[in-house]
Amino acid sequence: MTNNQTTILAIESSCDDTGVAVVRKRGEQVTVLAQLVSSQTDIHAKTGGVIPEIAAREHVQAIGPMIASVMNSAGVQHGQLDSIAVTVGPGLMPSLAIGVQTARSLAYAWNKPIVPVHHIEGHVYSALLENGSSKSYKLQVTSSSFPALALIVSGGHTMFIKVTDHLSYSVLGETRDDAVGEVFDKVARMLGLSYPGGPKVSVLAEQGNPSAFAFPRPMSHSHDLNMSYSGLKTAVLYQIRDLGVPLTEKNIADISASFEQAIIDSLITKLRFALESDNYRTLLFAGGVAGNQRLRDAIEQETVVKGVEFAVAPQELCGDNAVMIGQVGVFAFEAGRKKSWKEVEAIARVSIENFSL
């Protein structure tokens, strides 16, 4: 910490988005000095999904110029940085390795410690921010917001986490098979939409009837916080086969709306169970699928009924980005999470609980 403030360069490269940000914390005030995200969506749309080696090659191309540009826009010299925060896992190994090796090289060259960050921890922390004025963010969560329940719904993960305090996590339940974002993408593909299809399905759903098809609400009565979405995916596939291709526009809209409703209902059932099982003050909602407006509204409504504060990530921070990694970075650095470049490595599979202080 320099002059009572912490300044962090943050790097995210766990999947197909390269993110770089400079984040500063002074007291309870967190400022994003500059940030960039470089998306590889167009490249992976051609192959219908992310090919790890191609993703890694794109990260290599993007990362150096992005770091130079973000440092420049932030007006920060490397001497003013306290640390470099980087996503070490979970994710695609070739992708993670680019961010981690970059952070290690810079940490060595600039003689800085590294703050290793768990990718899901990043998503959790993105919900701590709300939009302020002119692209800056305000902290909407204070120490009195804990214990909090975090619901993270993304392309790789769907999970409930108890956040007892800053940097203190226990996983309460998660999907046993596909993540919700992944199922959105697969249903989109069945409907002939390009990757990533989640947002396209939600746009089509606006025109459809959510009760047109009775898709299953998986594991609604399991009395736990585990989930399963592969059965729902198969039910959509069989429905499409029954209707016969090519589908009419009305069929496509109705399938989209009915599928989205099944996802919403199943997540709300689990959320209700979670909120009734413990005394939470706040719900933190984030991850790529938290960009879905109908889901945001349904979840907010449930928190209103239960009298729990609702903290959702700003729309533009729902997808992968480095602001969320820097956000964890400033809190974790101040709490003493500092590693030498030699100690940090990429880990494809790792639990968020390993990152609890």
The residue ranges that bind Zn ion (CB under 5 A) are 154, 320
Backbone angles phi, psi at 81, to 5 degrees: -80, 140
Angle at 320 between CA 315 and CA 326, to 5 degrees: 95
Q: Which does 181 bind (CB under 5 to 8 A by kind): Zn ion, ligand KG4, none?
A: ligand KG4
Nearest to 120 by CA among 350, 337, 303, 357: 350
**Residue in the shown chain whose Cβ atom is closest to ligand KG4:** 288
Site for ligand KG4 contains 299 (CB under 6 A): no
Q: How far is the CB of 72 from ligand KG4 (least distance, A)?
A: 26
x-or-dash pattern for ligand KG4, window 171-210, by CB under 6 A?
A: ----------xx-xx----------x-xx--x--------
- Residues 227 and 266: their CA atoms lie apart, in Å, by 9
Q: What's the residue count for the chain?
A: 357
CA atoms within 13 A on the CB side of 1: 14
- Residues 328 and 86: their CA atoms lie apart, in Å, by 10
Q: Which is nearer to ligand KG4, 185 or 302 (CB)?
A: 185
Q: Which does 159 bind (CB under 5 to 8 A by kind): Zn ion, ligand KG4, none?
A: none
- Residues 160 and 171: their CA atoms lie apart, in Å, by 6
> What are the C-alpha distances in Å from 256 to residues 3, 198, 252?
53, 10, 6
Q: How far is the CB of 41 from Zn ion (least distance, A)?
A: 14
- Residues 321 and 287: their CA atoms lie apart, in Å, by 10
Site for ligand KG4 contains 319 (CB under 6 A): yes
Q: How far is the CB of 118 from ligand KG4 (least distance, A)?
A: 12
Site for ligand KG4 contains 15 (CB under 6 A): yes
Q: Which does 319 bind (CB under 5 to 8 A by kind): ligand KG4, Zn ion, none?
A: ligand KG4
Which positions lie near ligand KG4, rule CB under 6 A?
15, 154-156, 181-182, 184-185, 196, 198-199, 202, 287-289, 291-292, 319-320
